[in-house]
Structure 1
Amino acid sequence: MKHLKQNIAIVYLLCASLVMAQQTPAPKQTKPIAIMGATAHIGNGEIIENSVLIFKAGKLTTVAEASVVKIDISNMEVINAAGKHVYPGFIIPNSTLGLVEIDAVRASDDDAEIGHLNPHIRSLIAYNAESKIIETIRPNGVLLGQITPRGGRISGTSSIVQFDAWNWEDAAIKVDDGVHVNWPNSFARGRWWKGEAPGLKPNENYTKQVQEVTHFIKQSQAYLNGDKPIKHLPFEAVRGLFDGSKKLYVHVNDAKAITDAVNFKNEYGIKNMVVVGGEQALQVASLLKHNNVPVLIRRVHSLPKHTDDAYDQPFKLAKVLTDAGLLVALENSGDMERMHARNLPFLAGTTVAYGLSKEQALQLITLNAAKILGIDQTYGSLEVGKSATLFISEGDALDMRTNMLERAFVDGRDISLESHQTNLWKRYSNKYKNQ
């Protein structure tokens, strides 16, 4: 009886582990694959209505109009996608996917580190490739992301991953791409719990908080330009900002602070800077364009932040910044950002209703994002020589009514689109069909 109970317990645990297990990453591509007849959305603004896409060993070898190429399909898998659409995999920048699993469980929360100036903290080594949340975003076409730390004045260093991997080593496609700084706000809201008046008022500590960043950068430059008897990890971590191998991602929203951040970049010789958030970027658009500073726009589905903002300011910001000549992409940080990451294509779809064309909106989460993150030589568009990271949708992937994926590939690997959510949907659909 004792052994029977033990065996039952073991079987129960095995079954539970199978139910909770993450989808097994797909094996490498073994034979060429051809997708025939689909409308191909290239990601650079172009469309091929009746396309043929062929990829081999994870790389695109043919992207063309079907009527102008002759191919031998005898030794390849052929996918008939007539009437369907093919897109490059969507990219989500500035995300904490894989760093937090359950907000209320502290042991599963690893998106921030103790301390205030932490450029040497690397988000990549905390990334959990088997997060249950990650498998829920792939069915909407989100296949790549920038895993970004939070907290402090200098949060740490991000990396870029693909979302079908055994571990962070397998997932990484660009390691330590940039350092993230939370720039001080030039205005602060009154804190009611301290008896302060509500509403915005000048931040009295703004200058002091900015000096905190500038002092650190001055110290790091002195260290990097001098003798280094002892390695200083925080200073070493910002070396790439001065030689161009890393980007400085400045999380900043108000116009004055954006201006100060750009001046900071120029004064200290930082090669590449990206504004993250940029709610008032339009007010300083000419400055950003002159200094070649792109913008990652915070969640489109947001309310205006200031009383004098237009009611539709968050919805049309991508349009007006694009018209101003800036390189723009979308990010989704904020409340419940990880579970909302699957809505990234619908954020882009909203910008269509506010002036962008569908192909321009697509660029916000494909090629533009790839350019900003520095991975556009390999990802972000359907072009010969680039990675076969793409998907087939029954309809318009920017519309939640027609974003229905049939197949998805990461580096040519045919990945699973199942998740615990799709399993539950099928389970209860069958339940009510049989009643």
Structure 2
Amino acid sequence: MKNTFIYITVLLMTFGFTNAQQTPAKKQTKSIAIVGATAHIGNGQVYENSLIVIENGKLVSVVENNQTKVDDSKMDVIYANGKHVYPGFIIPNTTLGLVEIDAVRATDDDSEIGSWNPHIRSLIAYNSESKVVESMRPNGVLLGQITPRGGRISGTSSIVQFDAWNWEDAAVKEDDGIHLNWPNTFTRGRWWLGEDPAYKDNKEYKNQIKEISDYFNATKAYTQANNTTVNLPYEATKGLFDGSKRLYIHVDGEKGIIDAVNFSKENGIKSMTIVGGYDAYKVADFLKQNNISVLLQRVHSRPSQTDDDYDLPFKMAKILVDKGVMVALEGSGQMERMNARNLPFYAGTTVAYGLTKEQALQLITLNTAKILGIDNQYGSLEEGKSATLFISEGDALDMRTNIISEAFIDGRQISLESHQTKLWKRYSEKYESQED
């Protein structure tokens, strides 16, 4: 029995080592020049023939190639004529790195027991060696907002980059915001108990709102008092009132969105964003007037109501952008972690429904960075910012041409290999040999 246990342990360790994530890239030591590519800056600008110079992890030059000359004798030069350069894509409101295998409870750490958990930090549970996280990079998704789930207040999210040894190395912005799940104004009967499955008014809605108000009143009283005993949940909310943290309210319904915005204003919340926002297009003018941004639900989804337009999820972004609302795309929902790699293709779909390609690009780069509060370093290819970018053979918003040849995070050239690319190569060789 003992020998059997040893054999199984060795086998598992061997499997883990042979299938481990790629080793994080080393710090940049030599200047890099990317020459000739079409540079999609992320702010709406495009340089058809660009010169990008990276030094010490920063962008020191992003210009039209015919505007300046550089001494490339002491640089590593990447000639990218005919290719495209993009800022690294950013996926907000994701549980990447918190769950590895849904069916294995020991790998699931995306929610905590209890309803009021503002002090629960997703960052310290983030697994930087996740194979799912690794599979984001070949599509250009290089950063993410790691967000907890469950309860009325799920906890506190943080922003990470996807090439790190551990969560400390991965952290880009710690504890950026707190996530509140707003009550639904409607409920549905439990059909499995024989109840009518039709929508009906949520009779507990007012009581649930009162519970949220009471909780925030208590947190405000705590922040204004001289406390000898630390209350961790209340302590975590301080940033909402001084502007150092953003309140992310997860809500879809029209009335719920209006109530959530008014609640934030009444409670002195400095920064607030709607997450999901299925009915946000119905109150777009209201959101614009109150300077409220939206992390819009997954584009590749079906309409929620039988009388909605069949293509409503595809064109929501266009409607909101036209109204002047700050919009970014998120991808929560069924199989959200696996589908996060499709973020650029969600943006690509919005192009088919009215946005320009550069507007669509902003939905997953600069707009996201602005909402998350990291636009001083990420989200666009501008001098002085982090050299977090990638080179694609073609249009990165098109799954047919999103073929990435090089990618950089903070100037470090990262591996684009994953367990999936290894399997692809393995079986490509198998079937190629059979054809011969």
TM-score range, shorter chain: over 0.9
Aligned-residue offset at 1:319: 0.2
- Residue aligned with 1:396, SS: coil
CA 1:118–1:9: 2 relative to 1, 3 Å: closer
C-alpha distance in structure 2 between counterparts of 1:67 and 1:216, whole Å? 59
Pairs aligned (count): 433
TM-score, length of structure 2 as denominator length: 0.97
C-alpha distance in structure 1 between counterparts of 2:152 and 2:91, whole Å? 23
Aligned-residue offset at 1:103: 0.4
TM-score, length of structure 1 as denominator length: 0.97
Q: Give, as a single letter, the amino acid of the residue that structure 2 aligns with 1:312.
A: D
C-alpha distance in structure 2 between counterparts of 1:342 and 1:22, whole Å? 17
CA 1:109–1:76: 2 relative to 1, 3 Å: same
- Residue aligned with 1:383, SS: coil
C-alpha distance in structure 2 between counterparts of 1:214 and 1:376, whole Å? 32
Q: Deviations over 1:18-57 (max 9, x none)?
A: 3221110000001000000000000000000000000100
**2:176 counterpart residue number:** 177
Unaligned runs of 5+ in 2: none
- Residue aligned with 1:382, SS: coil
C-alpha distance in structure 2 between counterparts of 1:206 and 1:266, whole Å? 19
Aligned-residue offset at 1:201: 1.0
Aligned-residue offset at 1:271: 0.4
**1:47 counterpart residue number:** 46
**1:251 counterpart residue number:** 250
Alignment of 1:19-418 (within 5 A): 19-418=18-417
C-alpha distance in structure 2 between counterparts of 1:162 and 1:304, whole Å? 32
Q: Deviations over 1:135-177 (max 9, x none)?
A: 1110000000000000000000000000000000000000000
CA 1:221–1:37: 2 relative to 1, 3 Å: same
CA 1:112–1:12: 2 relative to 1, 3 Å: closer
Q: Give, as a single letter, the amino acid of the residue that structure 2 aligns with 1:360.
A: Q
Q: Give, as a single letter, the amino acid of the residue that structure 1 aligns with 2:53.
A: I
Q: How high is the sequence identity, in percent, across the aligned residues?
A: 67
Aligned-residue offset at 1:196: 2.0
- Residue aligned with 1:133, SS: helix
Q: Deviations over 1:82-127 (max 9, x none)?
A: 0000000000000000000000100100000000000000000000
Q: Deviations over 1:46-93 (max 9, x none)?
A: 000000000100000000000110110010000000000000000000
**2:422 counterpart residue number:** 423
Aligned-residue offset at 1:307: 2.2
C-alpha distance in structure 1 between counterparts of 2:191 and 2:7, whole Å? 56
Q: Give, as a single letter, the amino acid of the residue that structure 2 aligns with 1:170.
A: D
CA 1:11–1:178: 2 relative to 1, 3 Å: closer
C-alpha distance in structure 2 between counterparts of 1:206 and 1:71, whole Å? 63
Q: Deviations over 1:171-191 (max 9, x none)?
A: 000000000000001111221
- Residue aligned with 1:18, SS: helix
Q: Give, as a single letter, the amino acid of the residue that structure 1 aligns with 2:423.
A: L
- Residue aligned with 2:220, SS: helix
- Residue aligned with 2:136, SS: helix
Aligned-residue offset at 1:213: 0.9
Q: Give, as a single letter, the amino acid of the residue that structure 2 aligns with 1:91.
A: I
Q: Deviations over 1:405-430 (max 9, x none)?
A: 00000000000000011001101111
C-alpha distance in structure 2 between counterparts of 1:15 and 1:232, whole Å? 45
C-alpha distance in structure 2 between counterparts of 1:10 and 1:265, whole Å? 52
CA 1:209–1:13: 2 relative to 1, 3 Å: closer
Aligned-residue offset at 1:226: 1.5
CA RMSD after TM alignment: 1.7
Q: Give, as a single letter, the amino acid of the residue that structure 1 aligns with 2:46.
A: I
CA 1:128–1:240: 2 relative to 1, 3 Å: same
Q: Give, as a single letter, the amino acid of the residue that structure 1 aligns with 2:394.
A: G
Q: Deviations over 1:284-328 (max 9, x none)?
A: 111111111100001000111112211111000000000000000
C-alpha distance in structure 1 between counterparts of 2:283 and 2:8, whole Å? 64
- Residue aligned with 1:248, SS: strand
- Residue aligned with 2:135, SS: helix
Q: Deviations over 1:230-279 (max 9, x none)?
A: 11011111100000000000000001000000110111100000000001
Q: Give, as a single letter, the amino acid of the residue that structure 1 aligns with 2:45.
A: E
CA 1:433–1:114: 2 relative to 1, 3 Å: same
Aligned-residue offset at 1:194: 3.4
Q: Give, as a single letter, the amino acid of the residue that structure 1 aligns with 2:348.
A: G
Q: Give, as a single letter, the amino acid of the residue that structure 1 aligns with 2:400.
A: R
Q: Deviations over 1:182-238 (max 9, x none)?
A: 000111122113332112111111111111111100001111111212110111111
